[in-house]
Structure 1
Amino acid sequence: MTNFGYTLMTEQSGPRELVRYAVAAEEVGFDFEVSSDHYSPWLTEQGHAPYAWTVLGAVAQATSRVGLMTYVTCPTMRYHPAVVAQKSATLQILAEGRFTVGLGSGENLNEHVVGEGWPAIQDRQEMLREAVAIIRALHTGELVDYRGEYFQVDSARVWDVPEQGVDLGLAVAGERAIEALAPLGDHLVGVEPKASLVEGWNAVEGAPRIGDGARAIGQVPICWDPDEDTAVKRAHEQFRWFGGGWQVNADLPTPAGFSGATQFVRPEDVAGSIPCGPDLDAIVESVSAYWKAGFTDVAIVQVGDEGQDRFLEEAAGPLLEKLRAAAP
């Protein structure tokens, strides 16, 4: 069965609104909720970037059923992996076992703010490998000393450790990343609906098999609105950065950079890649690319803070019915 999630998009909504949306999304029937973990919005027009972990702590107390996840946290620059180990353990306790920490190699947009520069992708992936080893060790509750190429941990211990542990979802986008990271994670996080990601992960020796306990978790933007023109306008204003692809999005450092890179993107270009308007069948068709590629979980991003309440009140329930009827 395919699971459908709701995205708490920290770049486009304030913290109190995000908690309110999380409660409404649980009530309407979403299976899980993922939160972005940003220091900056992609575009100035989005206008928000609250601290994801504080928001998720509040969401953990305000909800009772939905799974929770970061999508995704970079545990190598803005956060030291020892800190990620502590806060993910704490959040798992607050969520009573509903939390998965999604980890990735990050974007320049969020990580450059601490003044440590922006390493090459090979270095970022090696940093992520070390970070995962540190987080795993600290989640045992034992005293940890660690000396790696990138990180050092001195006599650290996480004192409040959840009995069930914390599953790690690892974001991968290419063959090299899959080979290096699949044996270290519990679940795959993918930014594109490519069957090669799932097939490649399952082919790696020692990797937990997707479809047999491990999940493949994707994300897809939509812009539902009763008026198609309004939806297209909103999607262009808020989400025109989306078409750049991971290779571009990972390296641009500021919202101004994303604005400049997308200055020639037209509304019709955005509407060609993001379903906009009231047509729920068009949204189902867009989401279906993920389950056709073998993904087990798909989180929906409703673009823009404006109209979020109306989406949850009017469209989310019927959309979930259609998705569950269509999905394997």
Structure 2
Amino acid sequence: MRIGYFLSSEEYSPAELLEQARGAERAGFGGLWISDHYHPWMDAQGQSAFVWSMIGAISQACGLPITTAVTCPTVRIHPAVIAQAAATSAVLTGGRFRLGVGTGEALNEHIFGDAWPELDVRLEMLEEAVEIIRGLWAGGFHSHHGKHYTVENARIYTLPEQPVEILVSGFGPKAVEVAGRIGDGYISVMPDGDMVRRFRESGGGAKVAQGGFKAAFADTAEEGARIAYRKWPNAGVPGELSQVLPSPRHFEQASQLVTPEAVAKAFVCGNDPEEHLETIREYADAGFDEIYVANTGPHHQGLLDMYAREILPKLG
């Protein structure tokens, strides 16, 4: 089981993300997730570095494998461009890059004024996008004339020795079945064993399943809960709202209905290593092979130190 660290590009500056990547490697983490956002969820988070610039910088700052968690290759950026960006990232990392993809959120994808499709259409677009990406990675000139995308005489010249693995995010049954059918792996932020089983039964088999959770490291659980509520009240926004709300302002409005208690339940708050170990076990019991933890707030070094001392040695 690999334990990784999740770089929150919505909350930390580029310099802070690099510092955390280096710190995660020193602490003994086995890999990195990094989020791909145009906007933060909330203005209180305050950042949104361009993920492909960050991956290039991280590739030269540390040697950990990197997965985007996750990129939406359908609306804001054409899949042919994502194919080139991911191929270059794989070359820069010496093959240590995996492309995590999903159907995305209006928050990040609506910026050109395009209509935001319903879920079934977004899944259809994602399948076609993955087909285009893999076609371009096969080498040579490639054309595609599909329902949603056109590619004409495109060739990616800078390619890694092996094609990049594409991991697919999914939270509902339809999305998980698509992940099982087209993905080289599965990504989720819920310790839901039923979804992992559905992925494997839908074609995923023994492919890697990655899961992630959020923490708010602090001297006390109460302080951690206050940090989590100040920075990420959107974690308590229910249902499909996270996919359809178009701006941080709208998330702030929806988050007024979220209680501090609801946010605290979505985080591991404070500095008790046993609570982290218990959460990791929940993901492991659900069938995840790799588990990534994100920190919110100013005490990320405290979380890294705790994992180095109290958690990673116990997990081997």
Tell me which interval the TM-score lies in, with the shorter structure as reference length: over 0.9
Corresponding residue to 1:309 among 285, 294, 301 = 301
What's the C-alpha RMSD, in Å, of the aligned pairs?
1.4
The answer on whether the counterparts of 1:40 and 1:48 sit within 8 Å (CA) in structure 2 is yes
The answer on whether the counterparts of 2:273 and 2:311 sit within 8 Å (CA) in structure 1 is no
Report the 3-state secondary structure (helix = DSSP H, G, I; strand = E; otherwise coil) of the residue aligned with 1:275: strand
Report the 3-state secondary structure (helix = DSSP H, G, I; strand = E; otherwise coil) of the residue aligned with 2:249: helix
Aligned length: 316
Inter-partner Cα distance in structure 1 for 2:168 and 2:198: 14
Q: Residue type matched to 1:317 in 2?
A: A
Inter-partner Cα distance in structure 1 for 2:199 and 2:271: 36
TM-score, normalised to structure 2, is: 0.96
Deviation at 1:191, TM superposition (A): 2.6
**Deviations along 1:240-259, whole A, 9 cap, x unmatched?**
11122462211111111111
Report the 3-state secondary structure (helix = DSSP H, G, I; strand = E; otherwise coil) of the residue aligned with 2:191: coil
Corresponding residue to 1:257 among 229, 232, 250 = 250
Displaced runs of 4 or more, over 6 A: none
TM-score, normalised to structure 1, is: 0.93
Q: Which residue of 2 aligns with 1:190?
A: 188
Structure 2: runs of 5 or more not aligned: none
**Identity of paired residues, percent?**
34
Deviation at 1:5, TM superposition (A): 0.8
User: Structure 2 matches for 1:34-113, cutoff 5 A?
Assistant: 34-64=33-63, 66-113=64-111
The answer on whether the counterparts of 1:284 and 1:323 sit within 8 Å (CA) in structure 2 is no
Q: Which residue of 1 aligns with 2:205?
A: 209
Structure 1: runs of 5 or more not aligned: none
Work out whether 1:276 is the aligned partner of 2:269.
Answer: yes
Deviation at 1:56, TM superposition (A): 0.9
User: Structure 2 matches for 1:21-36, cutoff 5 A?
Assistant: 21-36=20-35
- Once structures 1 and 2 are overlaid, which stretch shifts more, 127-136 or 15-24? 15-24
Q: 1:323 to 1:48 in 2, by over 3 A?
A: farther
Corresponding residue to 1:247 among 240, 250, 272 = 240
Q: 1:316 to 1:181 in 2, by over 3 A?
A: closer
Inter-partner Cα distance in structure 2 for 1:300 and 1:323: 16
The answer on whether the counterparts of 1:224 and 1:302 sit within 8 Å (CA) in structure 2 is yes
Q: Residue type matched to 2:251 in 1?
A: F
Inter-partner Cα distance in structure 2 for 1:297 and 1:139: 26
